[in-house]
Amino acid sequence: NPLRDDWVLVSAHRVKRPWQGQLEKPPPEDVPRWDPKNPLCPGATRANGEVNPKYEGTFVFPNDFPALQPDAPEPDDSDHPLFRAAPAQGVCKVMCFHPWSDLTLPLMSLPEIRAVIDAWAELATELGASYPWVQIFENKGAMMGCSNPHPHCQVWASSFLPNEACLEDRTQRQHLSQHGVPMLLEYAEQEAHRKERLVVENADWLVVVPYWATWPYQTLLLPRRHVCRLQDLSDSEKDSLASIMQRLLIKYDNLFEVSFPYSMGWHGAPTGAFLEQDCRHWQLHAHYYPPLLRSATVRKFMVGYEMLAQAQRDLTPEQAAERLRSLPEVHYK
């Protein structure tokens, strides 16, 4: 994986082994459209006592249980190099995609998905004016740690570059220096030509199961042109992004005919003070990490060898891409 500068063990026969392990519960099909006890619903009362407005589109509010705070205290000086600490400030926000709890992104209309993308870009611009990293991410489904079925994501802005951002910054910078072209721009061109791992594409975007995928049906969403940040997209690119997101997520749901769990997030060039620096080595992209492996109830566990040695996957990325690619683009519901 050139983006993380590490290796992935591919064991394509492992998916055939008998399974007597844990079976997951499929997500509930009877989520109420509106529940006054659900703190993300319009008009509901949240944990801090605030009442949500009766919003009709997207709704952004400060996370009531933030992992980062703008006034977090400075740590004490270390007395030894093996016991280092550094300050970490920031803000955490929650963004509801839609007022209805029984909708997910693949079931929303294109204008509704476009409104989500617009809100993402606005938050990236607003928080990126002062913070060097703005992480937009969605945990979908209880299997991925989502504590509320209402369609939503989180946005954490931090005073530091997180580990994954530092790693991608280094590898992309090295690639541009050595090859004269941004890594993921070159990679997108290669995948568009080879088509072995292509899932969906349109004039502005393509989705692939990356050559270095670790999760079974992991995908990478890439723009065709060189663009560093989400807020740099044109109106037409945001429209085509809404379309390709909908197509991908419908395929995900159709794979096992279930509301497909995943964690996804956007990575782009750092912001804050980095806005004044040369970030041409960066290429905007979104990672999708879904855990399901064999069915709606059998997931991939990243344990044992994966935790102690290196990532290992149970089918080839080409097999995963072919299976996703062949699925219909009309939602099974």
Active-site residue among 98, 150, 152, 175? 152
Residue with the two structure tokens 């954490």: 156
Residue 154 assigned ligand-binding role: yes
- Distance, in Å, from the CA atom of 142 to the CA atom of 26, rounded to the nearest integer, reads 9
Residue 325 assigned ligand-binding role: no
Q: Is 197 exposed, middle or buried (0-12, 13-18, 19+ CB in 10 A)?
A: buried
Give the total residue count for the chain: 333
Residue 63 assigned ligand-binding role: yes
Which of 262, 254, 264 lies closest to 327, judged by CA?
254
Residue 312 assigned ligand-binding role: yes
Residue 285 assigned ligand-binding role: yes
Joined tokens for residue 297: 């109830």
- Distance, in Å, from the CA atom of 253 to the CA atom of 256, rounded to the nearest integer, reads 6
Residue 287 assigned ligand-binding role: yes
Judged by DSSP in three states, 9 sits in: strand
Residue 147 assigned ligand-binding role: yes
Which of 137, 144, 188 lies closest to 158, judged by CA?
137
Residue 17 assigned ligand-binding role: yes
Judged by DSSP in three states, 138 sits in: strand
Judged by DSSP in three states, 95 sits in: strand
Residue 168 assigned ligand-binding role: yes
The count of C-alpha atoms lying within 13 angstroms of the C-alpha of 305, restricted to the half-sphere facing its C-beta, is: 10
Task: Tell me the residue type at 253.
Answer: D
| H or E element in which residue 207 lies | strand 205-208
How many other CB atoms sit within 10 Å of the CB of residue 329?
11
Residue 231 assigned ligand-binding role: no
Most distant CA pair in the chain, distance: 60
110: which residues sit within 8 A by CB, 6+ positions away? Answer: 239, 242, 243, 246
* Residue 152 among the catalytic residues: yes
Residue 14 assigned ligand-binding role: yes
**Residues annotated in a binding site for UDP-alpha-D-glucose:** 14-17, 47, 63-64, 139, 145-147, 154, 300-301, 305-306, 312
Per the annotation, where are the binding residues for Fe cation? 168, 267, 285, 287
Active centre residues (catalytic): 152
**Binding site listing:** 14-17, 47, 63-64, 139, 145-147, 154, 168, 267, 285, 287, 300-301, 305-306, 312
